[in-house]
């Protein structure tokens, strides 16, 4: 039976793992290679490394970090942040990533999704969507808006529509981050996740808001997520992937328990 | 031990090479040097991407060289599309023949409410006395990402259930294939790759 994936996310800035609340107020949370290895050992099903430096000078640092992190990692490894061209993606794959996640650059140039997919396969392309409910809209979920630039700017696209377009262009998965709940540890946005998951035929990874085991149970059930991403819940040893999965199994969620 | 890894320019070999080297193998990559297949001790055909990309194996003469190596008894492992290539073909690219070592063909998952591709960690029901999957216990999981799959037959080494039962591993003598990615399947995947690296013809 297919299991629900627990994905450990490392936000990386200048080669260090950091954690912020709603994308600001960053705190140092360790070395990416060490953290990734620890999460994999403790049963994380996948590792996502999101580079939030995204400056030109930071590219080489990122590639070094990816290379170092990938070296002893034998679970799927996705890298995002600052990937603007198929060449950027190729460098990240060459350094050892299995998937890339694209966000702002794909909104600016949706053809990027097609291009990376054609060269590396759809399974290698994750389209990350930073979403915020639109409280002014008649249906805040259906009309949720896509944001770019780390959540600072409206993209002028609706989340559900953009997810569908990404799928049509050949994305293999959608990584949906609710900016309303990111870093708040108050739970995933289950309504929004379900709306996107029902709109596309590809897996949806829910992100933003993990705080308790119950939040994961909800997003896998009501939220119809195929996978869920967690960052702050793990970093400070609040909970390991192992203990999270043991609790999820008790709650009836199908998960891969670490050996 | 030495492993010849076939590059047919359909994606990324880094993960497969890394896992083989981690297990102590020396890896040689070829995208068309037939001598490297003719002298191969073991052959791995990785695969991410589209079945159509295997046309490059025909164009470069690798198909013929691999067929001959298999006939000589060289252990062969196909991964993902590399496994599907061992069959007669795939509905993903109906005009592109596979090796036809196994006579059946690969097909897309049937229509269902479930998501396709099948992405994530799923279990293996090891079906026969498989050397490749020796030591894989119930409750161990491996990582899949695919939309096409091989049918369950007498050569099936493991069955996985998603939408319908399909062959997640195939094995007949020195010819082996896995639909999942052992290089991305943690300790279980490394164990399976290790079994391939130590595979020997029965005494």
DSSP-based three-state secondary structure for B184: helix
- How far apart CA A97 and CA A62 sit, in angstroms, is 12
Which residues of B are tagged catalytic? 80, 181, 183
pLDDT at A259: 67
Give the tens place of pLDDT for each residue, B87-124.
999 999 999 999 999 999 999 999 999 999 999 999 99
Let me know: does A62 contact A51? Beta carbons within 8 Å.
yes
Structure confidence at residue A24 (pLDDT):
60
Reply yes or no on whether the pLDDT at B139 is more than 90: no
Contacts of A123 in chain B (CB under 8 A): 48, 117, 119, 145-146
Contacts of B17 in chain A (CB under 8 A): none
Q: What is the mean pLDDT of chain B?
A: 95
**pLDDT mean by block of 10 residues, chain A; 259 residues:** 94 85 68 94 94 74 94 95 92 94 95 93 94 89 89 91 97 94 86 97 94 94 95 66 92 90
What would the two tokens of residue B172 be?
């007949």
Cβ distance B121 to A2 less than 8 Å, yes or no, reads yes
**B139 with B117: CB under 8 angstroms?**
no
Contact (Cβ atoms closer than 8 angstroms) between residue A9 and residue A229: yes
What integer is the mean pLDDT of B115-139?
93
DSSP element (H, E) containing A220? helix A213-220
Contacts of A202 in chain B (CB under 8 A): 115, 117, 119
The rounded distance, in Å, linking the Cα atoms of A39 and A243 is 12
Average of per-residue pLDDT across B51-71: 96
Q: Tokens 């609790």 appear where?
A: A247
CB atoms within 10 A of CB B188: 25
Q: Which of A256, A258, A259 to mutate to test the interface with B (most CBs of B within 10 A)?
A: A256
Q: Kindly provide the ipTM of the predicted complex, given to two decimals.
A: 0.93
Nearest CB to B183 within list A40, A74, A124: A74
Return all residues near A105 (Cβ < 8 A) that are at least 6 apart: A83, A84, A85, A112
Domains belonging to chain B, first-starting first, are 2-197 (3.40.50.880)
Residue B173: partners with Cβ closer than 8 Å, 6 or more residues away: B73, B201
Is the CB of residue A49 less than 8 Å from the CB of residue A12?
yes
Q: Do A75 and B18 touch (CB under 8 A)?
A: no
- On whether the CB atoms of residues A180 and A190 are closer than 8 A, the answer is no
Query: Which candidate in A45, A114, A115, A130 is catalytic?
Result: A130
Of A2, A95, A120, the CB nearest to B120: A2
User: Torsion angle of alpha carbons B27, B28, B29, B34, nearest 10°?
Assistant: -140
Nearest-5° angle of CA A102, CA A108, CA A114?
55
Across the interface, whether the CB atoms of B18 and A71 are under 8 A apart is answered yes
Note whether A70 contacts B18, CB cutoff 8 Å.
yes
Residue B5 pairs in a beta bridge with: B29, B44
What pLDDT shows up at residue A135?
83
pTM, two decimal places: 0.94
What are the residues whose beta carbons fall under 8 Å from the beta carbon of B146, sequence distance 6 or more?
A123, B80, B117, B118, B179
Contact across the interface for B117 and A172, Cβ inside 8 Å? yes
């Amino acid at each position: 039976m297919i299991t629900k994936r627990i994905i450990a996310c490392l936000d990386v800035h200048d080669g260090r793992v950091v954690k912020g609340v709603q994308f600001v107020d960053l705190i140092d949370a360790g070395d990416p290679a060490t953290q990734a290895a620890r999460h994999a050992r403790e049963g994380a099903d996948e590792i996502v490394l999101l580079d939030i430096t995204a400056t030109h000078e930071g590219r080489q640092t990122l590639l070094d970090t990816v290379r170092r992190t990938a070296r002893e990692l034998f679970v799927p490894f996705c890298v995002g942040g600052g990937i603007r061209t198929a060449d950027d993606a190729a460098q990240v794959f060459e350094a050892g990533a299995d998937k890339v996640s694209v966000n702002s650059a794909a909104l600016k140039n949706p053809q990027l999704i097609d291009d990376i997919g054609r060269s590396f396969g759809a399974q290698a392309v994750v389209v990350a969507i930073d979403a915020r409910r639109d409280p002014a809209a008649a249906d805040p979920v259906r009309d949720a808006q896509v944001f770019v630039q780390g959540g600072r700017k409206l993209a002028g696209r609706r989340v559900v529509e953009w997810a569908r377009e990404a799928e049509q262009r050949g994305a293999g998965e959608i990584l949906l981050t609710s900016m309303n709940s990111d870093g708040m540890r108050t739970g995933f946005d289950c309504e929004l996740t379900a709306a996107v998951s029902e709109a596309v035929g590809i897996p949806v990874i829910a992100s933003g808001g993990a705080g308790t085991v119950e939040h994961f149970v909800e997003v896998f059930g009501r939220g119809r997520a195929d996978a869920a991403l967690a960052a702050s819940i793990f970093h400070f040893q609040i909970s390991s992937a192992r203990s999270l999965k043991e609790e999820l199994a008790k709650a009836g969620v199908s998960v891969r328990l670490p050996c | 031990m030495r492993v010849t890894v076939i590059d047919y320019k359909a994606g990324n070999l880094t993960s497969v090479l890394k896992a083989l080297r981690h297990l102590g193998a020396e890896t040689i990559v070829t995208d068309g040097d037939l001598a490297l297949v003719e002298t191969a001790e073991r052959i791995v055909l990785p695969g991410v991407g589209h079945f159509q990309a295997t046309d490059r194996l025909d164009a470069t003469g690798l198909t013929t060289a691999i067929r001959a190596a298999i006939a000589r008894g060289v252990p062969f492992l196909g991964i993902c599309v590399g496994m599907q290539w061992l069959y007669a073909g795939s509905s993903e690219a109906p005009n592109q023949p596979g090796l036809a070592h196994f006579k059946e063909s690969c097909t897309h998952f049937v229509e269902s409410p479930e998501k396709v591709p099948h992405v994530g960690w799923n279990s293996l029901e090891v079906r026969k006395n498989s050397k490749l999957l020796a030591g894989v216990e119930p409750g161990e999981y491996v990582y899949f990402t695919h939309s096409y799959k091989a049918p369950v037959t007498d050569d099936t080494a493991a069955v996985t259930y998603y939408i319908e039962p399909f062959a997640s591993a195939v094995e007949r003598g020195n010819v082996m294939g896995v639909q999942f990615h052992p290089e991305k399947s943690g300790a279980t995947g490394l164990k399976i790759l290790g079994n391939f690296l130590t595979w020997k013809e029965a005494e």
